Amino acid sequence: MKDNLSDFPMGSIQLIGAGPGDPDLLTVKALRAIMSADVVVYDRLVSPEIMALVPAGTRRIDVGKLPRRHKVPQPAINALLVDLARQGLRVARLKGGDPLIFGRGGEEADAARAAGIAVHYIPGITSAQGAAASTGVPLTHRGLASGVRYVTGHRACDAALDLDWTSLADPDTTLVVYMGVANIREIALQLMRHGLAPLTPVLAVTSATTPRETRKLSSLGSIGTEASRLAAEVPVLFVIGRVAGLYPAIAELDGALCEGSGMVAYA
């Protein structure tokens, strides 16, 4: 199959969105690129189910990062991608979610272009969309949320969060926090200081769309303490806003476990 993909020439890089984890949510184009690559450079957020689709003879390079523990620093990843492409390889850079939504795909593309390497994007379903679909919680909903914002809960080099808290503390907007498990206590405190009520619902979704998915319902006033039980290495998405309060009724109608408020895990 490697010689049949005309849009994946030798010595080029494809920045591929692997989606939130369910292999059925991969685009056809993403799957074709994975199957045609000479080498797959992947992050920790790429699920085992997605990695199982990589052909057995394809070289794999793990450059995954954990909070405050970066196996391979970003500049080294950029250099690795360029070096592999210069060897004439088809390089599949596989990222969880979408490479252009908190995936640092732009930085890697800049490095490739600066080196004269052809680079292309293949979009993926971002984690917020995957979590909304799997839990049934809409990110916008008439009368509850007229907009949605995606924000990162982590800064490069573990720098302090400098988000526009006044703007984010909008009760009419759903706030989705990526990579926020280490800083969710600070995020919650800042949002409350800037006007959001402590009883604002928060739904924490881990490993969305995979068999390992869990959903935990809390409130802005409690999530900082309750989220301390979440493992830092597990991908966690926080959905903050009135739409998260729909989850118990949705779970009950869908036959999932629902025990009211608090940090409750749902099957």
The DSSP result for 166-181, as a single string, is: HHH--TTEEEEEES-T
Structural contact between residues 175 and 240, judged by C-beta atoms closer than 8 angstroms: yes
Per-residue model confidence as pLDDT tens digits over 216-267: 999 999 999 988 887 666 889 999 999 999 999 999 888 765 433 333 443 3
Q: What angle do CA 137, 102, 48 make, to 5 degrees?
A: 75
Fold matches, 2-122 and 127-266: no
On average, the pLDDT of the chain sits at: 89
Q: What proportion of the chain, given as a percentage, has pLDDT over 90?
A: 77
CATH among 3.20.20.20, 3.40.640.10, 3.20.10.10, 3.30.950.10 for 127-266: 3.30.950.10
Place of tokens 């969710």: 184
Active site residue 38: no
pLDDT of residue 69: 56
**Quick one: tokens of 167?**
């703007």
Q: What proportion of the chain, given as a percentage, has pLDDT over 70?
A: 88
- List alpha helices for the chain, DSSP H: 28-36, 48-51, 74-86, 105-114, 127-135, 165-168, 184-193, 223-226, 247-254
Q: Which residue has the higher pLDDT, 65 or 45?
A: 45
Per CATH, the architecture of 2-122 is what? 3-Layer(aba) Sandwich (3.40)
Sign of the dihedral defined by the CA atoms of residues 45, 206, 146, 140, in that order = positive
pLDDT of residue 252: 87
pLDDT of residue 8: 87
* CA–CA gap between residue 120 and residue 13 (Å, rounded): 6
Active site residue 179: yes
Catalytic position from the list 43, 95, 216, 263: 43
**Quick one: tokens of 18?**
């692997």
Active site residue 35: no
- Per-domain boundaries in the chain: 2-122, 127-266
Q: Using pLDDT thresholds of 50, 70 and 90, give the confidence band for residue 6.
A: low
Q: Which residue has the higher pLDDT, 263 or 106?
A: 106
Per-residue model confidence as pLDDT tens digits over 150-195: 999 876 656 678 899 999 999 999 999 999 998 999 999 999 999 9
| Helix, strand, coil percent content, the chain, rounded in steps of 5 | 35, 25, 45
Among 18-22, 93-97, 126-130, 229-233, where is mean pLDDT lowest?
A: 229-233
Over residues 34-54, the mean pLDDT reads 96
Q: Examine the pLDDT at 131 and tell me if it is beyond 80.
A: yes
Q: Using pLDDT thresholds of 50, 70 and 90, give the confidence band for residue 3.
A: very low
At a CB cut-off of 8 Å and minimum separation 6, what does 48 contact? none
Catalytic position from the list 38, 179, 216, 263: 179
pLDDT of residue 232: 67
Buried b vs exposed e over 224-239: b needs ≥16 C-beta within 10 Å? bebbeebeeeebbbbb
Over residues 46-69, the mean pLDDT reads 87
Catalytic position from the list 38, 65, 95, 98: 65
